[in-house]
Structure 1
Amino acid sequence: MALPAAAPERQLKHTRCIDVQVFARGNGLWEVDAVITDVKTRDTEFRRAGEPIHDMLLRLVIDEQFNVLEAGSETRGMPYPGACDAHGDAYTKLAGLNLMRGFRYAVHERLGGIAGCTHLTELTQVLPTAVVQAFAGDVINTRGGDGADAKPPFQLDRCHALRTDGPTVKLHYPRWYRPEKPEVLPPAVKRSPANRVKRARDENP
């Protein structure tokens, strides 16, 4: 895979880290802790070098159908104390959404612009796929069933590597492998003498 070469003279200026941890409560409910931090390598008017300018936690309580039951946030590091964290309980508005059904669009409807915090709202965007990964093998069947009516594994045909007509599925999920069908062209139209005469007239009026 092509990767741009790293310049030997480059200097690190900024690091953004996003950390998502998903915990099983053991009663069919799960907790999602998502943290975003921004750290600079130089002193700023807000923080000394190495101290987080942003350090924000977003927590969701979800069920195994991806429904958000509870939500909230905590702003622990910010450039403007008393302002950055003055959005109140804005992120409780995530409750009632479903991570797999229009979640990202609904977040922007409820918390876009001045309704919320830019960084916390950005952080929400990684949550659906992070939870899918957490649920894989525990809540989501990633191998498929055995019966005649079994459904294919959740992840197939959701990325280029796991296309059902590709070699990865053929090797690891042979039951669900579907060879690519050759393109079927429509049969050629037979050219009768009458058709040839008509076409000649159309082309040479």
Structure 2
Amino acid sequence: MSLPPAAARRQLKHRRQIDVQVFARDDGLWEVDATLVDTKTRDARLAGEVRPAGTPIHDMLIRLVVDTSLNVVDAGAKTRWMPYAGHCDDHGDTYRSLIGLNLVRGFRKGLQERVGGVLGCTHITELALVLPTAVIQAFAGEVIDTRGDSGVKPFQLDRCHALRSDGEVARLHYPRWFRRPGAVLDTSGSPE
């Protein structure tokens, strides 16, 4: 895999940190906490103030509660640091409108329809885009059968180039589900 070489001399100006944590609850539901934090390496002039270097420009949290079928049963968001206090955080309960969506069936489209553009916060909405694959990763081997032991094709097969049913990984690690090259692949149910 190639990567453009990093310049010998470069200076960090901005950092965006995204953190997604998924928790199993005692009631059988799962909580997904995702945060986005933007910081600058220099003082930043914002609306009516100067934010010192290293102090967050943005610090946002979105929390989804999901069931084991990947349905959103509760949702909300909080803006803790923002450039326009009293405005950036004035999205109210907009993110509760995600309740009823399914993380693998139409989530990204539903997200845009319900909270995209001026309906929500650009940063929180973009952060929510990573949630389907993060939750699937958390569910892998615990909620979702990733080995095919249940007799159902493992969830992850045919969802990326390495895990093609007609590829070497399937041949070596999922021989029951391996299909010779050229066979029709089942790609239904992908998270878009």
CA displacement at 1:96 relative to structure 2: 1.2
Larger RCO (alpha carbons 8 Å, 6+ apart) = 2
- Match of residue 192 from structure 1: none
Q: How does 1:37-76 map to 2 (within 5 A)?
A: 37-46=37-46, 47-76=51-80
CA displacement at 1:181 relative to structure 2: 4.2
CA displacement at 1:27 relative to structure 2: 2.4
Deviations 1:74-122 (A, max 9, x none): 1111011111101111111111111111111111111111111110011
2:87 aligns with one of 67, 71, 83: 83
Higher-Rg structure is 1
Gapped runs of 5+ residues in structure 1? 183-205
CA–CA distance in structure 1, aligned partners of residues 172 and 131 of structure 2: 30
- Match of residue 172 from structure 1: 173
Gapped runs of 5+ residues in structure 2? 184-192
**Percent of residue pairs bearing the same amino acid type:** 65
Matched, 1:96 2:97: no
Taking structure 1 as the reference length, the TM-score comes to: 0.84
- Match of residue 141 from structure 2: 137
The 3-state SS of whatever aligns with 2:43 is: coil
Taking structure 2 as the reference length, the TM-score comes to: 0.90
- Match of residue 188 from structure 2: none
CA–CA distance in structure 1, aligned partners of residues 165 and 118 of structure 2: 43
- Match of residue 160 from structure 2: 159
The 3-state SS of whatever aligns with 2:172 is: helix
1:105 aligns with one of 94, 106, 109: 109
Q: How many residues align?
A: 179
RMSD of Structure 2 on Structure 1 (CA): 1.2
CA–CA distance in structure 2, aligned partners of residues 99 and 39 of structure 1: 29
The 3-state SS of whatever aligns with 1:52 is: coil
Q: Which runs of 4+ in 1 moved over 2 A?
A: none
